Amino acid sequence: MQPTDLGLERPLAALGVTEPGQVPVRFAALRTHFEGQFQTVHAESEWKIFRDQWLGRKSGVLAQITDNWLKPASPELKRAVGAGLNELRAHVESKIEERRLAIESGSDQSALAREHVDLSLPGVHRPIGSHHLIRQVFQEIEDIFVSIGFSVVEGPEIETPYYNFEALNIPEFHPVRDDMDTFYLDLPKGAPSPLLLRTHTSPMQIRTMEKHKPPVRVIVPGKVYRRDNPDATHSFIFHQVEGLAVDSDITFCDFTGTIEYFVKQFFGHGVKTRFRPSYFPFTEPSVEFDVSCIFCGGAGTATSGGTCSKCKGAGWIELFGAGMVDPAVYGFVNYDAKKVSGFAFGMGIDRLAMLKYQIDDIQVLFQNDVRFLRQFP
């Protein structure tokens, strides 16, 4: 507060001060005022304002005293006013300097006290999220395969038709491409190759074999894309884990044994597996693996007595496609088809998660509704 009530704008005569003896009271009032303000100055920004208020050249308190009290003072008063002013100036300057040092060195206790952090107060609680169910299932599957010697690799979600189709023995006009009709990227004219969102994780079979000589044992978790209308069992984006094992002496027996081991680890030892002939251009022979229905125990009848709605009475649920790697594929990666053999599989993770955790709508996996997510902490 500017000390206007101290009569700084008027000459002393106008304040009724005519004798030197009346002067010290005036200065005493100013000093009291100074002390009162001084108590409240702690932060550097406050200090600057305070310093200018008192020492400012044009309108600081001391400048006003000089201009309004000292200069117009009668000769009798001048000496007393001069002495009071000098004394006040010395006091004000030394106090202001003292506070500056205290602020700079951080030793101003009242400032410290105001900035004091109370560690006993409760903090802001930010709940920690959890892994999405799909990520958890990826992890379960990775753990099972890593424990039997597979490594985990990942690949690009944007692929060339060569890796997504041709090198997997799916030439341009092959009818299986119809099911994999998918999203192509808009590319500038003259781009070297069309690009598409991969329709499966199988391209990583090729990329892995191009880079590594046999033996190869990898699994490839990842996202895949297909043009599909969303419903309870379809989504245009979903997840797969690809598997590939190639060595000099891998047999069909190794293949079914590995798959059976995985399925039992994943669904529990009580389940049975079976395979049926199927067709994929990149495996020969190709199979489809089934697991005994985990809802009715393979009986085909529900506990209520009717037909099991999950396996539709069959007692089996289709799990995923697999097979022995087609020798034609080895030709694309410079492997000697006469010397190596191996197997491959590709499973839909969303489907496995839905079976294992009894989820009947694939869409909930993508909606990120916390009421769903919280069920899988």
Binding site for ligand DAH (CB under 6 A): 200, 202, 242, 280, 283, 321-323, 344-346
State in angstroms the smallest separation of the CB of 303 from ligand DAH. Answer: 33
Half-sphere exposure of 309 (CA within 13 A, CB side): 4
The pair of structure tokens assigned to 251 is 């047999």
Angle in degrees, CA 217, 293, 366, rounded to 5: 65
Q: Is there a contact between 201 and 168 (Cβ–Cβ < 8 Å)?
A: no
User: Smaller CB distance to ligand DAH: residue 64 or 169?
Assistant: 169
User: Smaller CB distance to ligand DAH: residue 222 or 346?
Assistant: 346
User: Smaller CB distance to ligand DAH: residue 68 or 283?
Assistant: 283
Residue 225 CB contacts under 8 Å (≥ 6 apart), including other chains = 157, 182, 183, 197, 198, 199, 236, 237
State in angstroms the smallest separation of the CB of 286 from ligand DAH. Answer: 6
User: Smaller CB distance to ligand DAH: residue 202 or 341?
Assistant: 202
State in angstroms the smallest separation of the CB of 344 from ligand DAH. Answer: 3
Q: Is there a contact between 53 and 92 (Cβ–Cβ < 8 Å)?
A: no
State in angstroms the smallest separation of the CB of 299 from ligand DAH. Answer: 29
State in angstroms the smallest separation of the CB of 160 from ligand DAH. Answer: 16
State in angstroms the smallest separation of the CB of 153 from ligand DAH. Answer: 14
State in angstroms the smallest separation of the CB of 227 from ligand DAH. Answer: 14
User: Smaller CB distance to ligand DAH: residue 34 or 275?
Assistant: 275
Question: Residue with CB nearest ligand DAH?
Answer: 346
The pair of structure tokens assigned to 42 is 């702690």
What's the one-letter identity of residue 152? Answer: V
Ramachandran region, residue 231 (left: φ > 0; alpha: ψ -120 to 50; beta: rest): beta
Q: Is there a contact between 212 and 343 (Cβ–Cβ < 8 Å)?
A: no
User: Smaller CB distance to ligand DAH: residue 77 or 354?
Assistant: 354
User: Smaller CB distance to ligand DAH: residue 47 or 345?
Assistant: 345
Give the span between the Cα atoms of 98 and 108, in whole angstroms: 10
Give the span between the Cα atoms of 171 and 159, in whole angstroms: 16
Give the span between the Cα atoms of 302 and 65, in whole angstroms: 102
State in angstroms the smallest separation of the CB of 187 from ligand DAH. Answer: 24
Give the span between the Cα atoms of 121 and 34, in whole angstroms: 37
User: Smaller CB distance to ligand DAH: residue 140 or 288?
Assistant: 288
186 DSSP assignment: P
Give the span between the Cα atoms of 54 and 313, in whole angstroms: 95
State in angstroms the smallest separation of the CB of 144 from ligand DAH. Answer: 17
DSSP string, 118-167: -TTS-----------HHHHHHHHHHHHHHTTT-EE----SEE-HHHHTGG
User: Smaller CB distance to ligand DAH: residue 266 or 343?
Assistant: 343
The pair of structure tokens assigned to 308 is 């099991």
Residue 28 CB contacts under 8 Å (≥ 6 apart), including other chains = none
